[in-house]
Structure 1
Amino acid sequence: MGKISSYRDLKVWQLAIDISVASYEVTKNLPREEMYGLTSQIRRSSASVAANIAEGYGRENKGSFVQFLRIAQGSLKELETHLIIAGRVGLIHSTILSELLKQCDENGKMLGALIRTVQRKKVDEQVRG
């Protein structure tokens, strides 16, 4: 793994961006009457995942970073819920939905692992300090 010098180097952020781009693509095909409903909710929650990772990283404080990573997890679960609803009402094809949910699951696991890593480093520093 290379040196992390920016949130843009984080694989978890990169995948969140990919999911957001895919979410924007899939919502292009939703009916116009969903513009202020599911389309807006899917786009907003998908963008929020990557944005919270970046914002937390930018705080340069491990406690704040963990807090924003947890907010990103919440946004990811919100996105999954909106996608599932869109799938159940027939707005998103099941194959596309399945792939997006698979990516969300992977991103969620990555977020959880990053939270544990950051928390461990914080504790290690407190013990040494």
Structure 2
Amino acid sequence: MTKEPIKSHEDLEVYKMAFDAAMQIFELSKKFPKEEKYSLTDQIRRSSRSVCANLAEAWRKRRYEAAFIAKLNDCEAEAAETQTWLKFAVKCDYLNVEIGRKLYGRYNQILGILVTIINNPSPWLIKR
């Protein structure tokens, strides 16, 4: 079985994982209390979506290794921030422990892929 070539950031497995996780967080956060609307709810939605947005930007900056890595570092930071918000959501009883653990684990997978790319960006860069 041959893999399809990656034509866009949307073809990246890590992007698909991050997008799915962000959408799951969006759906789950609809049940968070109203008093969290401008704090935890907004923050967890923003950080989870930022992983995807920064991946899109990183993909377009592949001509310049430093710019590519900088954007991937932003992805990494946003993924870690999302994990922090997930822990708050569980501790505040807004999110079921098991669901929180699964999502936290999903972000560990995302972080692992990002670190792998950051540590070896060459295959991803656009050759001049």
TM-score by length of 2: 0.89
Aligned-residue offset at 1:86: 1.1
Q: Give how far 1:121 is off.
A: 4.5
Residue in structure 2 matched with residue 57 of structure 1 by the alignment? 59
Counterpart secondary structure, 1:36: helix
Distance 1:9 1:116 in 2: 20
CA RMSD in angstroms, aligned pairs only = 1.7
Which residue matches 2:109? 106
Runs of 4+ in 1 over 6 A off after TM superposition: none
* 2: CA distance, partners of 1:121 / 1:9: 15
SS in 1 for 2:46: helix
Unpaired segments ≥5 residues, structure 1: none
Alpha-carbon distance in structure 2 between the residues aligned to 1:19 and 1:121: 26
Partner in structure 1 of residue 97 of structure 2: 94
Q: Provide the aligned length of Structure 1 versus Structure 2.
A: 123
Q: Please tell me whether residue 43 in structure 1 is matched to residue 55 in structure 2.
A: no
Gaps of 5+ in 2: none
More helix by proportion, 1 or 2? 1
Deviations 1:18-41 (A, max 9, x none): 111011011011011110010000
The percentage of counterpart residues that share the same residue type is 30
Q: How far apart are the structure 1 equivalents of 2:26 and 2:61?
A: 28
Residues 60-107 of structure 1 deviation map (CA, whole Å, 9 limit, x = unaligned): 323211110110000001000011011111111101101111111111
Code of the aligned partner of 2:17: L
Q: How does 1:1-129 map to 2 (within 5 A)?
A: 1-61=3-63, 62-118=65-121, 120-121=122-123
TM-score (norm 1): 0.88
